[in-house]
Each structure stands twice: as structure tokens, then as C-alpha cells.
Chains A and B, each alone.
Chain A
Amino acid sequence: MTDTVESISSMIVEKLLANPKVPRDIDGNSKIVEDLAFDSLAVMNFVMEIEDELDVSVPLDKLADIRTINDLATCLAALKSGAH
């Protein structure tokens, strides 16, 4: 199975929408901290769920550069392809 940035991005959006506190109108361009009101701990904890799903680990320094859901999806896709 190949995970594209698009498929990962929509998987992330879907997971986020499972949380009732997350605004309903998010998409790949939504900013994780500003638009979702996640603090740094919440971001790290959320990323853990995605890591399980994709069987990758995101190093914490990579998280520092991530602003949008698409940024996260791009990072995950790169890690995923590097791993195989």
C-alpha cells in the first residue's frame, strides 16, 4: 500500500474530526496550533496516534517545522517512504 500526502492528510482530518472539540471546517491547510487551538503537548499526543496508524516515528525536531495538517502529512509521507 502506498501512502500519499493526500491520503495521509485526509486520514489526519478524519481522526481530528473524531474529537468533538475540533472545529468542523478544517482541511489540509488548517494550522494545527492556531486553527485547532492545540498546545505543544496536545500536538505531540495527537501525532502519536497517527504514528501508530502509519507505523512510523516522527522525531520531535521535525515537529518544530510543522504548521499545517498538510505539512504533517508531507513529513509522514517522507518518513514512510524512507522506511521502506
Chain B
Amino acid sequence: MTDIFAKYAGLKAAAAGLTAHSPRNPFGVVIDHPVSATIGVIEGRETLLFGTNNYLGLSQSKAAAEAAIETVRREGVGTTGSRIANGTFALHRALETRLAEIFRRRHCMIFSTGYQANLGAISALAGKDDVLLLDADSHASIYDASRLGYAQVIRFRHNDPADLDRRLARLKDHQGAKLVVVEGIYSMTGNVAPMREFAEVKKKHGAYLLADEAHSFGVLGEHGRGVAERDGCEDDVDFVVGTFSKSLGTVGGYCVSNLDGLELIRLCSRPYMFTASLPPEIIAATLAALDEMQARPELRKQLQANAGQLNRGLHKLGLKTSAHVSPVVAVTLETVDQALAFWNRLLELGVYVNLSLPPATPDQHPLLRCSVMAVHTPEEIDRALQVFGQVKAEILG
């Protein structure tokens, strides 16, 4: 009998190599429980959380918790069905209407996760005779969407509208529809897409543009609608995909558009149709989180200020960070051993960040992905920077 795991021998060796050099498994951290949005208990210690996607701190929203509790008492814990069968409650419709209003678009579909929103929207939009053009640094959900659908897939250089322009020009005789996919803020590096330039290129070639604003919704733009709002080019972004699992603190995903065809996608998108819909309490919590996001624009201001403090602070320590100031700050290190030692030491000194290793990183270098929240206090950010400084001196000299 062939060992079904034999193909993972290389993975097994790599994982064993990691844990041999690390006092703990970097991919097996357990947060015993959160104490607040910014602090969690890890290994019995209160630890500052600088590696989440909880940009506004809303995972700990009291109003969202109350809404969930009240709804779960009234409607139960789950729907047990697909959106196209028994899984659409009035709440699902209410959330779709609400998101469409927020984005000022006619149509909205919600999915059970953001991963499924990309999978379901992109795989259904780009069909057999179409071409999908993806930013090279796209999230796994976008790459997976490209494999679920039947379109031809072309990758363009990260954040490079000129490269996209060349590739679209090569396709000038291609008869199918062309769909360009970019992200607002890139989750690993914090890089921000030049959305307006992408929009110009897609208009020039008659392509469609889909923006995944997973990390930028609630974060950028005057009303928190993301990079397209910030850059004043929302009308040229045909589809926006996003998630509830970052700034809104719950779980779920969506796709909004002004194009009426989006309604047809409900009847052919497999990741929409063949999975259970979100539980009602999650919908209620998400609606409450949206209320809070809209009622407290000062959260976004504070988030920008905090992002600046963390970016500048890490930069001043002489660490290698991206030029973009966004709530995600990646510190690039040279070797995996360095990154592993750095990450472990940060955790021992009470600061949790994400460790990201190649090939999951864009440029073959390991990253310490740090993210900041609106509800971090300046003192908490200073404390994290102080720990970074100490660990840098210990590990990098």
C-alpha cells in the first residue's frame, strides 16, 4: 500500500527542523483566552497582541456580544442550510442590504467566510473563455479561486499597473472577459495597492476590476470603505470583496457590486451554494459591529496614528519595514533561524506577533508580521517597541 503521507516527507522534515530549533511550535500558539482586545493570556502570561487582524478591536465589542446573545436566544445557534435552501433568514437579507448601502452599491452577497467570498465570486465571474489577471502577491483564497474556475490565469507583478497594462495589451485580440484582481492592503506586508492607477489601466483595456478590501475595510477611506474610497475611484472598481473577520471582529465574507449580473452568481457559485450559511448570532454581531464602526470614526483616526507610531518606531530601531504606513507592518529578517529566535524571544518578553516563513512570504525572506489596533494605547505600542529593541540587540547585535 502506498503511504498516503509519503509526499509530505519534505514538509515533515522542514517542520521537525523548525521545532528542533525552537522552544515552541510557532504554528501552534494557543491563546488561553483574551483579556481584552489588546491582551491575551499565552503560556500563562498576559501578552500584548500585536499579531491579529482585529484593527478596530471590535472582536471584544460589548454591543456586538449583546446583539449575538439576544439573537442566539431568539433564533438559535445555526441555520443548518445553504443560502439557496433553508439557510436564508431575514437577518441575512438585512446584512446584505446594509452592506450594499454602506458601499453604495445595488447588490451584495454574503458568504460564510472571506475565503469563500473570493473563491465563490472569482471562480464564478471568470469562466472558461475568460482571463483572470492576478497580482503576484495575491492571497491564497484568490489563487485557489483561480484553480476552482476555468479561466486562463495570468499573474502580473505585485502593485505594478504598468506590468498589468503590458499584459492586457498582449490580450487585445482575446475575445473573453478580463477580470483583474488586486487587494487593498496586502495582509503580509502592509503594502497598499495603487488602486486609481489600476482602475485607469482596466478602463483603458475594457477589463473588470475586483478589489479584495479584506484588510482595508474599516481602516482606510473617510467612511472606512477601503483603498478605493481613499483614492476616489470606487466607481471604477466593479466588485469589492471583503471579510467580517478583520476590522469587524466576527466571521464571514461578502461581495458587492452595481452590476445586476451579481444576482446570477447566487445560482452558480459553488462556495456560495454548497455550504451552510452564517449562524444568525454572527449576522447580528456583524450588524452591531458595523453600527459601531460607523458611529466611531475616531477609531480609524486613532488606528492611523497608532500605525504611524509603530511604523516609525520599528524603522527607528533600524529594522527593515515597508515604506507604506498601514496597520500591518512587516519586519523583514535575513534568515529563518534569526526570525525564529526573534519571534520566540518577543513572545517570552510578552509580545505576540505573527511569524511568516518562505515560501509563504513574497520575497523568500522570513517576516515578523506586526499589526496594530485602534485600541492599543500609546504606552502599549511603546512597550512593544522597547521589547523589539531589546530583542534586536540580543539577536542581531
Contact = CB atoms under 8 A, between A and B. Distances in A.
A48 B152 contact: no
A84 to B, nearest CB: 11
Q: How large is the interface on B (under 10, 10 to 19, 20 to 34, 35 or more residues)?
A: 10 to 19
Given A59-B152, A83-B170, A48 B157 contact: yes
Contacts of B364: 41-42
Contacts of B131: 59
Contact of A44 (B152, B155, B166, B171): B155
A38 to B, nearest CB: 10
A81 interface: no
A35 B197 CA distance: 40
A34 interface: no
A57 B170 contact: yes
B359 A39 contact: yes
Contacts of A60: 146, 153-155
Contacts of B153: 59-61
A41 B170 contact: no
Interface in B322-354: none
B348 to A, nearest CB: 31
Contacts of A36: none
Contacts of A44: 136, 155
A7 B257 CA distance: 47
A2 interface: no
Interface in A37-58: 39-42, 44-45, 48, 55-58
B315 interface: no
B347 to A, nearest CB: 27
B322 to A, nearest CB: 19
Contacts of A59: 131, 152-154
Contacts of B154: 57-60
Contacts of A42: 359, 364
Interface in B146-168: 146, 152-155, 157, 166-167
A39 B14 CA distance: 14
Nearest to A44: B155
A42 B364 CA distance: 9
B155 A48 contact: yes
Interface string A52-82: 0001111111000000000000000000000
Interface string B228-251: 000000000000000000000000
Contacts of A55: 166, 170
Interface string B162-197: 000011001100000000000000000000000000
B152 A41 contact: no
9 contacts: A44-B136, A45-B136, A55-B166, A56-B170, A57-B154, A59-B131, A59-B154, A60-B154, A61-B153
Interface of A: 39-42, 44-45, 48, 55-61, 83
Interface of B: 131, 136, 146, 152-155, 157, 166-167, 170-171, 358-359, 364
Given A57-B154, A60-B154, 7 more contacts: A40-B359, A41-B359, A55-B166, A55-B170, A57-B167, A60-B153, A61-B153
